[in-house]
Amino acid sequence: MPESSYLALFLIGLLGGAHCIGMCGGIVGALSLGAGSRPELHLAYNAGRIASYALAGAIAGALGGASLALSGQLPLRLILYVLANLMLVAMGLYLMGITRALAFSERCGQKLWRHVQPLTRRFLPARTVAQAFPLGLLWGWLPCGLVYSALVTALTSGSALHGAGMMLAFGLGTLPNLLLAGLLAVRLKGYASKPAVRITAGLLVLGFGLWGLFAAIRLLVQV
């Protein structure tokens, strides 16, 4: 994967804000009961969430690197790259409401979330940074098709370090929307639910996926 993947994942996280707010709006609202308008608590929640994304990215990158080491490198890397961009295409269509294909991946993730969610209760209501940060760490494992799309891209990174970096970039992209959602929960959720916002975000994420597929086809032709 080219170094531009970091920027691409940051922008995908940013553009997927409509999905993030729709998916996590209820959770953010519940967290806000303890945090109110205290920005340090919202920052702590999100720092924990992004740290979990980076950890998941490190795991995905390590697994991808191990599989690449055991294979003929280019064919498997190309397959993973195509899969990552197909996930982005599906995510773009999902954001636009055209397909619910990624809902399947979120349902699969519910199996893990059922074990993680009960752990969040010991930190609620979070009134200190020491409570908010671990709550954010747990929140980061909430099933999310957008996160899973980014993780498939992290698989192609070839190392735990690069995989963590990619998911860190993605997480930072989601930060503005979810940070604002915590501070302006009701108003921002209403804005994110507007069809024009979701369609625009979906088209842009779809564009990233199609651009990646076109790059894969060009690479395949050159081999």
Per-residue pLDDT tens digits of the chain, which is 223 residues long: 445 678 888 888 887 766 666 556 556 656 655 555 677 888 898 899 999 999 999 999 998 887 766 655 667 777 777 887 888 888 788 777 787 766 667 777 788 888 888 888 888 777 888 988 998 899 889 888 788 888 888 888 878 999 999 999 999 998 887 777 666 554 555 555 567 767 877 788 788 888 888 877 776 666 5
* 95 touches 189 (CB < 8 A): no
For position 57, what pLDDT does the model report?
A: 95
Residue ranges of alpha helices (H) inside 70-194 are 74-95, 103-120, 129-139, 145-155, 160-183, 185-192
Q: Alpha carbon 44 to chain centroid distance?
A: 18
Separation CA 31–CA 131 (nearest Å) = 11
For position 2, what pLDDT does the model report?
A: 47
Token pair in block for residue 155: 């698989």
Burial class (CB in 10 A: 0-12, 13-18, 19+), 104: exposed
Full-prediction pTM beyond 0.85?
A: no
The secondary structure of residue 134, as a DSSP letter, is H
Task: Tell me the angle at which helices 185-192 and 195-222 cross, rounded to the nearest 10 degrees.
Answer: 60
For position 90, what pLDDT does the model report?
A: 81
Identify which of 129, 132, 107, 110 has the alpha carbon closest to the alpha carbon of residue 120.
Answer: 132
